[in-house]
Amino acid sequence: MLKARGIQKKYGNIEVLRGVDLEIQKGEIVSIIGASGAGKSTLLHILGTLDLPDHGSIIMNGENIGILKGKKLAAFRNIHIGFVFQFHHLLPEFTALENVCIPGWIGGKNKIATEKRAKELLDYLGLNQRLENKPGQLSGGEQQRVAVARALINNPSIIMADEPTGNLDSANAHDLHQLFINLRDEFHQTFLIVTHNEDLAKKSDRILQMKDGMMIG
């Protein structure tokens, strides 16, 4: 489903990624672990098309992402990739429902159909009573579940999560781990997760370890 070969990235004289290869199959939960500065987040951002590699290739669903530019790349990202970050990045002036709908609206999907799916996702995530609440009225765990619903709104091929439990207490972190597992089991959703959370990594189907910009295991 996702195949990367020879991914390299430099920032100035600092070599952050030094020829990274990886493959992810449909329906897998794959975690990337490693010390701070190992290149994990940089790799995730490149695989998610938020940054560009200096060298290397990325194939997703048989399509060479490297040849896509501008609006075509943005459209591909919107359709195929959902993101969950440590900081939820919800828009404070919009309700939970509106925050979830935004990627669908950006993608030009029907407004009513998008709202219907957003309500279904929020209901599935136990937030059916919080549709009209703004982020400041939600707990940290609730905000992260809204962010997960937003990531799912366009039926993405893969969800990429960067330290998704970093701002959550242990109980909410456990709930998020279980949610990812449920989404994999029920909907065959694919996840690529960068994490320092050992419990989350252990519940993944595979663990990849990075050190000094390379995969070591």
Kindly report the pTM of this predicted structure.
0.91
Q: Is 157 left (phi over 0), alpha (psi -120 to 50) or beta?
A: alpha
pLDDT digits (tens, 9 = 90+) for 140-157: 889 999 999 999 999 999
Which pLDDT belongs to residue 170? 87
Low-confidence ranges of the chain (pLDDT < 50): none
Which pLDDT score, from 0 to 100, does residue 87 have?
76
Domain boundaries, the chain: 1-65+194-217
pLDDT given for residue 85 in this prediction:
85
The CA distance from 184 to 191, in Å, is 8
Which 3 state secondary structure label does DSSP give 150? helix
Which of 169, 163, 167 lies closest to 200 in space, CA to CA?
A: 163
The CATH homologous superfamily for domain 1-65+194-217 is P-loop containing nucleotide triphosphate hydrolases (3.40.50.300)
As given in the structure block, the two tokens for residue 175 are 């709930």
